[in-house]
């Protein structure tokens, strides 16, 4: 069945409606920066990011339809296209670039300049869009009805149900406001502690706790009870099996990489000194396992991509809904970027490094674009692709004589660009799918995507500096799980001085999880992160579980879930924005001035968090009038 000939978009190809307007560009650029910053904060905190397409579309409808009294579904679609680019670029950047800050803190290199971060993000983002455009015909048009594109299709549904925009936008804004106020009262004023915990004296090395933050409840709700429980299982293994075992058998010994006796270490020290390496081994193995499992799909995808590019699609540029950016322009942009990567001293990359970026970039862009079509952006193994690139890039740079800190920085720069390429290519394909359903002009969407990349690339450097200044990467406040692990990998290959025994323990724990058919990545990330973080995420997952178990028709259950997802998207964005504001206050040195002299006891924090979870439940169960 040839679906592409049967399909009729919502706005017919021969109808021209407002699309790439000043309003849509302005709102889209603001949302790109806002969601980019919020997602950077979230990703560095919990090691995973969430899609911003649906919240961006909903907020856009709230502004354009309700406030501005305009009615163009394609304007709303343009807003979410530009806005979601910020979230994807942030997701790619935070998995790698904080490694540069960690080395700078250790005195090995200078801090990366804002310009360096901007160029890595910009080049990665533009290449991601350029590599995806030639694949649109094959993946979006010819495979319509075969590839589901979960987020892209869901976003189109939200846009098509535009008349509900007001109430839906209200849910997002409500979540945003509640989370911002909650975060400010907890961490800004210090009215109640945002993390509570208890170390068991009779079970040395273990500590139970929970971070009572809205964003964690939001992540748990969106990921669902299964993924949340896998993360909690990983945290349980680290904090109630591995750390007590290290405390029990370590005694007064001083074991590398620790510098003090194990008996004198608090649970947080045991986590920071030993378990982070075990967790890093598990995360690296999880990334590679997910890559190996999808390898047949990767090869098949790449073949199809090549075939689709070699075909001559007749009349592609005659119909509005089939216009792409011209191929000569894309090739010219790619060539300029490759030459700039080679020539700009910011990148310690030789011509071989520039070539690695193009080959791996196009390979992983085509893979990422198809993967999100099958399994959605949230399950796209971007960090696994980055790990594979990082290992190969480090080995090639070392073999070609670019070693030491220059080689390590070069490897992270290459890994950073590839990570952003994969993230943006996946986002572009989801957005083009949404556009295909609603009847957008692909060329305008592709320009919008690039615009979102430029704006968020300009902002991401400031966000990364701000968060590092305020709390420091690799700390409990901002664990930066993937970036710390990437740093360890590169150092280990370049200097051969990693605690390999700890990393290999993590690798084989991941192998056991895979044999037991446990999804390795959430389990491994749970092992790496503090237990309190996984517990906060599980709380949100538990609310989703209860909401889904209560009787009702399938349509009612779906509505409950959708209401919850919009509200929790608001929670995540609101806390992320307030997190950035608090970081600004911390850097300005005025954070202590607004702190209260007293704080509620831990039980107070728990009660407030339970009230928030109950309110989330009520939002989900509320019947539409």
Q: Which of 56, 39, 139, 131 is nearest to 92 (CA)?
A: 39
| Contacting residues for 301 by C-beta, under 8 A, at least 6 apart | 366, 367, 369, 370, 371
What does the DSSP 8-state code read for residue 623?
P
Provide the pLDDT for residue 315. 42
Rg (C-alpha) for the chain, rounded Å, is 24
Query: In degrees rounded to 5, what are phi and psi of residue 391?
Result: -60, -45
Provide the pLDDT for residue 2. 45
Q: What is the mean pLDDT of residues 447-453?
A: 97
Place of tokens 């001083």: 254
Percent composition of the chain: helix, strand, coil (DSSP 3-state, to 5): 75, 0, 25
Tokens, residue 136: 């649109």
172 vs 117, higher pLDDT: 117
pLDDT(381) > 70: no
Instruction: Report angle CA 458, 568, 59 to the nearest 5 degrees.
Output: 55
pLDDT tens-place string over residues 394-412: 888 888 888 888 889 988 9
Q: Which of 247, 362, 252 is nearest to 301 (CA)?
A: 362
Cis, peptide link before residue 42, omega less than 30° from 0:
no
pLDDT(597) > 50: yes
Q: What is the mean pLDDT of residues 109-120?
A: 93
Whether residue 625 contacts residue 170, with contact meaning beta carbons closer than 8 Å, is answered with no
Provide the pLDDT for residue 363. 81
Q: Is the dihedral of CA 130, 136, 138, 140 positive or negative?
A: positive
Rounded distance between C-alpha atoms, residue 171 and residue 58, angstroms:
9
594 vs 318, higher pLDDT: 594
**Dihedral, CA atoms, 185, 172, 613, 482, nearest 10 degrees?**
-80
Q: How confident is the model at residue 167 (pLDDT cuts 50, 70, 90)?
A: low
| Contacting residues for 323 by C-beta, under 8 A, at least 6 apart | 316, 317, 441, 442, 443
Provide the pLDDT for residue 378. 63
pLDDT(318) > 70: no
Q: How confident is the model at residue 19 (pLDDT cuts 50, 70, 90)?
A: very high
297 vs 135, higher pLDDT: 135
Whether residue 388 contacts residue 94, with contact meaning beta carbons closer than 8 Å, is answered with no
Provide the pLDDT for residue 1. 39
Worst-scoring range by mean pLDDT, 168-172, 206-210, 374-378, 553-557?
Answer: 374-378
Q: How confident is the model at residue 465 (pLDDT cuts 50, 70, 90)?
A: very high
Provide the pLDDT for residue 310. 58
Q: Is residue 472 helix, strand or coil? A: coil
Rounded distance between C-alpha atoms, residue 388 and residue 360, angstroms:
10
Provide the pLDDT for residue 182. 97
Tokens, residue 8: 């009729």
pLDDT tens-place string over residues 181-194: 999 999 999 999 99
pLDDT tens-place string over residues 420-443: 999 999 999 999 999 999 999 999
Q: Which of 619, 612, 608, 614 is nearest to 566 (CA)?
A: 619
Q: How confident is the model at residue 529 (pLDDT cuts 50, 70, 90)?
A: confident
Q: What percent of the chain has pLDDT over 70?
A: 93
pLDDT(308) > 50: yes
pLDDT(42) > 70: yes
Q: Which of 441, 434, 431 is nearest to 129 (CA)?
A: 431
pLDDT(380) > 80: no
Worst-scoring range by mean pLDDT, 125-134, 271-280, 508-517, 539-548?
Answer: 271-280
Q: How confident is the model at residue 562 (pLDDT cuts 50, 70, 90)?
A: confident
Q: Judge if pTM exceeds 0.85.
A: no
3-class SS letters over 129-165: HHHHHHHHHHHHHCCECCECCHHHHHHHHHHHCHHHH
Provide the pLDDT for residue 297. 67
Rounded distance between C-alpha atoms, residue 581 and residue 192, angstroms:
18
The chain-wide mean pLDDT, for the chain, equals 87
pLDDT(614) > 90: yes
| Contacting residues for 269 by C-beta, under 8 A, at least 6 apart | none
Rounded distance between C-alpha atoms, residue 228 and residue 537, angstroms:
6
Q: What is the mean pLDDT of residues 126-130?
A: 96
Whether residue 247 contacts residue 205, with contact meaning beta carbons closer than 8 Å, is answered with yes
Whether residue 184 contacts residue 578, with contact meaning beta carbons closer than 8 Å, is answered with yes
Whether residue 160 contacts residue 438, with contact meaning beta carbons closer than 8 Å, is answered with yes
Q: Which of 583, 585, 504, 577 is nearest to 215 (CA)?
A: 577
Q: What percent of the chain has pLDDT over 90?
A: 47
Tokens, residue 362: 């196009």
């Amino acid at each position: 069945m040839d679906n592409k000939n049967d399909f009729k978009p919502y706005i017919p190809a021969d109808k021209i409606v407002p699309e790439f307007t000043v309003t849509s560009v302005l709102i889209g650029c603001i949302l790109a920066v806002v969601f980019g910053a919020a997602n950077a904060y979230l990703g560095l905190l919990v090691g995973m990011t969430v899609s911003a397409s649906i919240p961006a579309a909903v907020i856009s409808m709230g502004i354009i339809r309700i406030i501005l009294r305009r009615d163009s579904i394609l304007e709303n679609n343009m807003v979410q296209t530009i806005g979601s680019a910020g979230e994807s670029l942030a997701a790619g950047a935070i998995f790698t670039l904080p490694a540069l800050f960690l080395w700078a803190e250790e005195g090995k290199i200078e801090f990366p300049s804002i310009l360096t971060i901007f160029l890595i993000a910009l080049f990665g983002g533009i290449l991601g869009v350029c590599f995806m455009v030639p694949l649109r015909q094959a993946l979006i048009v010819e495979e319509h009805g075969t590839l589901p594109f979960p987020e892209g299709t869901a976003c189109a549904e939200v846009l098509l149900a535009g008349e509900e925009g007001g109430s839906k936008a209200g849910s997002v804004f409500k979540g945003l406001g509640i989370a911002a106020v909650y975060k400010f009262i907890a961490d800004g004023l210090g009215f109640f502690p945002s993390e509570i915990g208890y170390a068991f004296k009779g079970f040395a090395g273990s500590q139970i706790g929970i971070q009572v933050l809205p964003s964690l409840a939001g992540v748990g709700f969106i990921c669902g009870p299964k993924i949340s429980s896998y993360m909690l299982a990983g945290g349980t293994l680290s904090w109630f099996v591995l750390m007590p075992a290290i405390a029990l058998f370590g005694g007064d010994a001083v074991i590398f990489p620790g510098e003090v006796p194990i008996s004198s270490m608090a649970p947080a020290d045991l986590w920071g000194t030993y378990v982070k390496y075990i967790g890093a081994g598990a995360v690296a193995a999880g990334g590679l396992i997910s890559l190996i499992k999808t390898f047949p799909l990767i090869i098949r995808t790449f073949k199809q991509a090549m075939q689709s590019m070699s075909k001559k699609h007749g009349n592609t540029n005659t119909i509005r809904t089939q216009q792409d950016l011209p191929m000569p322009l894309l090739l010219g942009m790619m060539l300029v970027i490759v030459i700039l990567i080679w020539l700009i001293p910011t990148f310690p990359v030789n011509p071989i490094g520039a070539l690695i970026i193009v080959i791996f970039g196009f390979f992983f862009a085509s893979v990422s674009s198809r993967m999100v079509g099958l399994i959605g952006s949230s399950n796209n193994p971007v960090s696994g692709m980055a790990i594979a690139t990082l290992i190969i890039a480090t080995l090639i740079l070392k073999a070609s004589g670019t070693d030491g800190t220059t080689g390590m920085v070069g490897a992270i720069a290459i890994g950073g660009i590839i990570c952003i390429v994969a993230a943006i290519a996946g986002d572009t394909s989801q957005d083009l799918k949404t556009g295909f359903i609603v009847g957008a002009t692909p060329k305008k969407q592709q320009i919008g995507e690039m615009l979102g990349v430029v704006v968020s690339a300009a902002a991401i450097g400031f966000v990364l500096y701000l968060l590092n200044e305020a709390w420091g990467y690799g700390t409990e406040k901002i664990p930066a799980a993937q970036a710390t692990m990437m740093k360890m990998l590169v150092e280990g290959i370049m200097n051969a001085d990693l605690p390999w025994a700890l990393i290999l323990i993590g690798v084989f724990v991941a192998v056991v999880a895979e044999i037991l058919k446990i999804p390795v990545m959430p389990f491994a990330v749970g092992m790496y992160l503090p237990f309190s973080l996984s517990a906060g995420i599980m709380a949100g997952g538990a609310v989703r579980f209860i909401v889904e178990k209560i009787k009702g028709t399938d349509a009612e259950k779906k509505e409950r879930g959708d209401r919850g997802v919009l509200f929790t998207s608001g929670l995540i964005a609101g806390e992320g924005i307030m997190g950035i504001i608090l970081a600004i206050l911390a850097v300005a040195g005025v954070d202590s001035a607004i702190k209260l002299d007293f704080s509620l006891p831990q039980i107070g924090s728990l009660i407030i968090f339970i009230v928030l979870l109950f309110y989330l439940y009520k939002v989900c169960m509320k019947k539409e009038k």
